[in-house]
Amino acid sequence: MSAEELLAFLGRHPYLSLALVGLTMALLYTEIGRLMRGYKALRPAELTGLINREDALVVDLSPSNDFDKGHIAGSKSVAPSQFDPESKLLANVKNLPVVMVCRNGMASAGAAKRLKKAGFEQVYWLDGGIAAWQQADLPLVKGRG
């Protein structure tokens, strides 16, 4: 397609052209925001690697009864209402990888943002939460331990 043909198309279809520009701007805004936020989404396989390589602290924000039904081995349960970046659990790990987890990935993303603002250096969240973990056929531990 030549530049002349492109300009002719844009002239004949102003609404499609405007939609294309709008979608392009939205994608750019989203991607730049993702790169600038300072915390990273992990897929389940990436999380297993981080736990094994760097002994990441996994903090699970699931309600207590959901945590008991199934959680990632070694994760620590913290009720969302009790989550505080200045808590004893997190006091000595500001330089270590901390991964926030919840049932679907929504609450954990907000908690990751709070950790980054509090000065934590390596902050992650499990994209899709425990549901994504289960979908990847990775094991869960039942009970409190």
How far from 67 is each of 7, 60, 79, CA to CA, in Å? 57, 8, 10
Cα–Cα distance, 135 to 128 (Å, whole number): 10
Q: Let me know if residue 54 belongs to a domain.
A: yes
3-class DSSP state of 141: strand
Model-level pTM? 0.74
Segments forming the whole domain that contains residue 59: 39-135
Q: Are residues 53 and 111 in the same domain?
A: yes
**Within a domain: 141:** no
Whether 28 and 58 map to the same domain: the answer is: no
Residue 102's pLDDT is what? 95
Query: 10 with 59, same domain?
Result: no
- pLDDT value, residue 66: 93
Q: Are residues 49 and 84 in the same domain?
A: yes
What gap in Å lies between CA 131 and CA 133, rounded to an integer? Answer: 5
Q: Is 108 helix (H, G, I), strand (E, B) or coil?
A: helix
Counting the structural domains of the chain, the total is 2
pLDDT value at residue 32: 67
- Beta-bridged to residue 59, according to DSSP, are 76, 100
| Local confidence pLDDT in tens for the 145 residues of the chain | 788 988 888 889 888 888 888 888 888 776 666 556 678 999 999 999 999 999 899 999 999 999 999 999 999 999 888 898 888 888 788 888 999 999 998 889 889 999 998 889 899 999 999 999 999 999 999 987 5
> What's at 38, amino acid-wise?
G
Together in a domain, 47 and 20: no
Distance CA 50, CA 41 (A): 12
Q: What is the CA radius of gyration of the chain?
A: 20
**Residues noted as catalytic:** 102
The reply to whether 57 and 80 lie within a common domain is: yes
CATH (domain of 48): 3.40.250.10
Q: Does one domain contain both 86 and 15?
A: no
22 and 43 share a domain?
no
**Residue 57 phi/psi, 5° resolution?**
-85, 125
Residues 15 and 85 in one domain: no
